[in-house]
Amino acid sequence: MPPRCVDLAWRLAVTASTSETNASGVSRVVVRLTLEDDDARSDDDARDGRWFEQMEMSVAQFYAFAGAVREARAATLEGA
């Protein structure tokens, strides 16, 4: 069975300055997922079958992601 997302947290971040790109002032969203799997994982960072995944995306990508999460949640609740 695939891992379940048991929590989702997000925060807005703004790039102040960087020497690598010309992205000063660009907004992005940092998303942290808490995943859970009934099967034990061998990773050191997984405790009780839970672990975190973090990703960064543009604000537009976040809105698309949030819409997909809402649709998946609605489909899951309808099937319950």
- Residue 16 CB partners (closer than 8 Å, separation 6+): 24
Q: Is the pLDDT of residue 23 over 70?
A: no
Reported as a single tens digit per residue, the pLDDT across 40-58 is 555 555 567 889 999 999 9
Q: What percent of the chain has pLDDT over 90?
A: 49
Confidence of residue 21 (pLDDT cuts 50, 70, 90): low
Domain boundaries, the chain: 4-79
How far apart CA 10 and CA 3 sit, in angstroms, is 19
**C-beta separation of 69 from 55 below 8 A:** no
pLDDT score, position 70: 92
